[in-house]
Amino acid sequence: MKEPKQMSVSAIENGTVIDHVPAKNLFKVIQILGLDKIDNQITFGTNLESKKLGRKSIIKISGLFFQDEDINRIALVAPDAKLNIIRDYEVVEKKVVEVPDSITGIAKCMNPKCITNYETVTTRFKVMSKKNVSLKCHYCEKITNQENMHII
């Protein structure tokens, strides 16, 4: 018998649903998007089953629609995230996130001698590769890649 399709987190009327966030990065996404600082209604589910990710999270933000450049900031921690734009309970648009050309903050420079690691200077990187993400530091020019990337 086929299981009925049920929503683990209830539907929203208007807003943005961010699906396919790796469960381990849910709170990083919340932090990057500043969701802890807004008054909108937010519901989320975590450790939900996903064929692709193992365990995924889903975030539903009522009454909020993001600019692409803002949402793309989560690409480092949720590269497979799918955005669903909801209006009047209907999914009116689906989007995927894209790694931006440059990144401010979010990641730490892997060079311990870099100024960003001993003074309060926000990190800045040029994205050298979007697939296996590699970042070139604006200050010390060292490359930080996926293996040695730490999210601030």
State which of residues 18, 109, 133, 135 lies at the interface with Zn ion (CB under 5 A).
Answer: 109
Residue count of the chain: 152
Does 137 sit near Zn ion (CB under 5 A)? yes
Q: For residues 88-107, which are near ligand CTP according to CB under 6 A?
A: 89, 91, 94
Number of neighbouring beta carbons within 10 Å of residue 73: 21
Does 60 sit near ligand CTP (CB under 6 A)? yes
Binding letters toward ligand CTP, positions 19-58, x by CB under 6 A: x--------------------------------------x
89, interface contact from Zn ion, ligand CTP, none, CB < 5-8 Å by kind: ligand CTP
DSSP state of 60: E
Give the sheet arrangement for strand 134-137, strand by strand.
102-104, 124-129, 134-137, 143-145
Nearer to Zn ion, 2 or 113 (CB): 113
Binding site for ligand CTP (CB under 6 A): 7, 11-12, 17, 19, 58, 60, 82, 84, 86, 89, 91, 94
